[in-house]
Amino acid sequence: MSEEEQITNEVHAKLALEYHEKPIPGKIGTALLKPCETQEELSLAYTPGVAAPVREIAADPMAAYRYTNKGNTVAVITDGSAVLGLGNVGPLAGKPVMEGKGVLFKRFADIDVVDLEVNAASHEEFIQTVINVASGFGGINLEDIAAPHCFYIEEQLSNKLDIPVFHDDQHGTAIIIAAGLLNALEIQQKELANIKIVCLGAGAAAIASMRLLVEMGADREQIRMVDRKGVIREQRDDLNEYKQQFAGNYSESTLAEAMRDADVLVGVSGPNLVHSEHVKAMANKPIIFALSNPVPEILPEKAHVIRDDLVMATGRSDYPNQVNNVLGFPFIFRGALDVRALTINTEMEVAAVRALARLARAPVPQQVLQAYKRKSLYFGPEYIIPTPFDPRLKEYISIAVAKAAVDSGVARAPYPVHYPPIDS
């Protein structure tokens, strides 16, 4: 890191600390939804009036959606075992991130959040804690939980709870990757079913992304997943049950070997792991999603010098085609909450993917151009994914998710009347 970069980082860190501390510590709080200015209003808000909805909910738990904020509240929950790129810093140190998710839920989809940082002695204790507190929420967003136990935790909670449980590091990332990839493939004139994909990384985001792409038509036999020890393949005896899903009888054992004639590289690993020879070895019209943050697997300026037929995305906002989870999770939960969904299933995820891909092909409104100081922005190699401040994200994604929930039979409420007709 250069001295200039170090100074910039120190200045930004100081600004971030001031932002979090002043004028009031933290980023989220409580807003009153009903007036409480008179004795009568106090008697309605609390005793004795509050007894009336208590009786209704005791008789019918679904009445909680009518008389409380359950239907618009998501719990954002972590054990602090994989916080951003900082690792296992513990649940309390993860609280700023959980509050940050609360900001995004509220800012982009008007969803209220309670953040819970769970200090649990075991995975089972964490699971039971979440089950014990879940009844007051309309959904659970799991966050910053390390692989591989994040898969087990989500599976157990999804099986035992009757509200959506969504691990954003898995499914949120997978949805944005899949949407961007569909559009990149169209630009490169390739088909999902006929491409070779190299996935550099084998954690939560990698496994969930490849699972979703297979659900959407990718050929599992043409996926090469690569971890620190090389290609995930049957010849290895050190694979957990989740990596084994992508183990085949492959001749390739290294990243360099896997990259030969690859159409797509999805990097969800670490900085500067992809070299010039890797990019040169890819097929014609390659696609690279280098998503390590803040330093990608290969910088766009380097990759584009090597290949002038490349479409590329990163996780950074200062390059075109940012893969950013805020494009997904607020609006996915909005659609799920609006129909009181029991879960967020594959049908709802695929609907979100296709809606997000479709939005990137629509004309970009002027307010987006102003927000990003652009004169023009249109579907093409440098615009395959919508921007986070596109006001149409809620319209496109929430509607698609709600419709998919109704169509797949996991909705407990009808398609909302304030949404466009269900057959549109």
Collect all residues with Cβ–Cβ distance below 8 Å to 162 and sequence separation of at least 6.
342
Collect all residues with Cβ–Cβ distance below 8 Å to 276 and sequence separation of at least 6.
302, 306
Residue 67 is a catalytic residue: no
CA distance 9 to 156: 40
Q: Catalytic one among 14, 46, 229, 280?
A: 46
Nearest-10 crossing angle of helices 204-215, 149-160? 60
Q: Catalytic one among 101, 190, 196, 403?
A: 101
Residue 19 is a catalytic residue: no
Q: What is the 3-state secondary structure (H, E, C) of 271-340?
A: CCCCCHHHHHCCCCCCEEEECCCCCCCCCHHHHHHHCCCCEEEECCCCCCCECCHHHCHHHHHHHHHHCC
CA contacts within 13 A on the Cβ side of 331: 28
Largest CA distance in the chain: 77
**Alpha-helical segments (H) within 31-172:** 39-45, 51-59, 64-67, 95-109, 123-133, 149-160
The three-class DSSP label of residue 171 is: helix
Active-site residue list: 46, 101
